[in-house]
Amino acid sequence: MPSINKREKPAWYEELAKYELSDPRAALGQLLDTFIPLLALLTIMFYLVLHRYSYWLVLLVAVFAAGMLIRMFIFQHDCSHGSFFPSTRANDIVGFIIGVLTLTPYRQWRWSHLRHHGAFGNLDRRDAGGDIWLLTVDEYQALALKERIIYWIYRYPPLLFGIGSTILFFFIYRLPISGTPTKDRVSVWLTDLVFLAILAIAYFTVGLRVFFLVMAPVWIIAWMIGVWLFYVQHQFEGVYWAHQQEWDFYQAALAGSSYYKLPKLLQWFTGNIGLHHIHHLRPRIPNYHLQQAYDSSPVLQAVKPLTLRSSLKSLSLNLYDEPQHRLVSFRQSIKRSTSE
């Protein structure tokens, strides 16, 4: 959990505390309005594959199933903050089950994500919470050519959001992350064991080929969008980054976390996670109260929104220019170095 500055907390910040109360009815309602459609869509996909319908039709249904899976992941995210249900036990049980569906070990991911909440926008703690790799212009220019190429490949959008997201969720998440507490490592092995059990059931019923023809596109689409959302939440034009001595919690939340204003349907599928500036101010506000919190606060409404169109510019912003206090492209960093 991020530390609050020692100065007095603003009144508008204190007023947001009332939205932290979890509502079990709202949580159960969200689970029902998401898991049931997800199950129905997956059933349709299995039927289409087993009866050899056009795979393009299967992929079309997969897009909507992936949207439901993304929404389920947001519930898992809330569980990791202890905000989805009032009960810690309920949060942990639901979080683990959803983690199996998303192939994300719940407790390990929670450990990593909470570290992110203590370090977002902090240039001296960029490696704390599994964030997208970001270098400053000076750091990049100090690298050897081979290392620059590796960084460029890492930031190349088709690799970062395509192959990279699949490698992360399907392979890297199958093993404990270095430094993970022992208790949290158990969630990795338990998630893998349950997944293996599911594969065994699939093998003796529909077959692994059919299973992956259905599940692979759903996972891949959901993972790609999930990585994009995480990326654009903290890497966008005008984003706030600062070194530890200047880092300010409120500024980091309001200017270092985006307000990704999505169309209502996409906002529903993404569980209001676009209201990310509010989430970093008050991580214990569950997704189903974020819009109410936004509507109640002129301070939150004053944050400039990031739209679908304007967010695409983030794809070309690869380095942080410290003197200019902004993200720049590789090309802009070259121009700066030649002008010095």
For residue 2, tell me if it sits in a domain. Answer: no
Residue 251 · residue 280 · CB < 8 Å: no
The pLDDT assigned to 188 comes to 97
Whole-number Å distance between alpha carbons of 63 and 224: 12
Which domain range does residue 121 map to?
20-339
Q: Does residue 302 lie in a domain region?
A: yes
- Residue 39 domain-assigned (yes or no): yes
Please indicate, yes or no, if residue 26 is contained in any of the structural domains: yes
- Number of domains forming the structure of the chain: 1
Q: What tens digit of pLDDT does each residue of 171-193 get?
A: 999 999 888 999 899 999 999 99
Question: Alpha helices, DSSP H only, in 205-239?
Answer: 208-234
Task: Classify residue 10: in a domain, yes or no.
Answer: no
Output the pLDDT for position 337: 58
**Low-confidence stretches of the chain (pLDDT beneath 50):** 1-6
Q: Is 290 within the bounds of a domain?
A: yes
Residues 6+ apart with CB under 8 A from 254: 240, 277, 281, 299, 300, 303
- Reference 33, options 294, 260, 271; nearest CA is 271
Would residue 157 count as lying in a domain? yes
Is residue 223 domain-resident? yes
